[in-house]
Amino acid sequence: MKIGFIGLGNMGAPMALNLAAAGHDVSGFDLTAPCPEGVKKAASGAEAAKGADVVLTMLPNGAILRAVAAEIIPAMSVGSVLLDCSTVDVESARAVAEQAEATQLMAVDAPVSGGIGGAAAGTLTFMAGGTEAGFAKVNPLFDIMGQKAVHCGASGAGQAAKICNNMILGVTMIATCEAFSLADKLGLDRQKMFDVVSTSSGYSWTMNAYCPAPGVGPQSPADNDYKPGFASELMLKDLRLSQQAAEASDADTPMGKAATELYAKFVEEEGGQGTDFSAMLPRFEKRARSG
């Protein structure tokens, strides 16, 4: 396929390279990030989009997505697909899809899970929203960039799935870190706690696969001085999206709200920016009970 790729940052660049390595004709554009070797450099987003079968975007937020969509949609060919892999608010995903479909394009919102390592290795998971026809056209690209793609429903459903998943992730990480901190103060060995919880009803991804305690469980960012695999500020972004969606849909999410407030305090007031989201554990270690 002829692919336009807009957004060549830490996630976008390796995704574009994997598509080019698989034999696709990839033209890339980014306002600030360099175009990786193996991807043709376009002078603008519109140039990258012109004549493309698929235009893939990987952008920071919904406002930027809307602005880029307004630029590239007029340049796209009838029947082509706008594939957005950014994590943005559901409203922006749906608005861009409506704009695309009004000009006889197909639109798929497909945020990803798997981080920078997954992008480089081609092992991402895609959560897709859009029509069956749009999903079918871009599914071969998901096979190159990832290990799994789930068609979650109509436009916006991919973003909804990502937001709900990451709300669970944020809440669960906080609970895992709180439990380790409590175990420390009760004199319980961390390894013993892991051995029990990882095979009991407290089992979770944050405990078993991404343990926030250094030297316990499989290798994780905790074993690398909490350098980010998934940065705390990105978790905060996703939690804020969850609460924006909850407010728009009148959903009661008290744990999601509490997790958002804790990560906001951690990132914006307590030096958590630039650390992995599991660095909540050393935060709790330093604190006495409040309230």
Helices (H) and strands (E) in the chain, counts: 12, 9
The two tokens of residue 157 are 């459903």
The two tokens of residue 60 are 């920071």
Its sign, for the CA torsion 267, 272, 277, 280, is negative
The two tokens of residue 18 are 């994997």
For residue 28, list its beta bridge partners.
5, 41
The two tokens of residue 145 are 């960039």
When computed from its CA atoms, the radius of gyration of the chain, rounded to whole angstroms, is 20
Residue of 138, 161, 143, 152 whose CA lies nearest to 55:
138
Would you give the distance in Å from CA 53 to the centre of its chain? 24
- Of the residues 50, 137, 162, 237, only one is catalytic, namely 162
State how beta strands 112-113 and 124-130 pair.
Answer: antiparallel
**Residue 162 known to be catalytic:** yes
Q: Which residues are catalytic?
A: 162
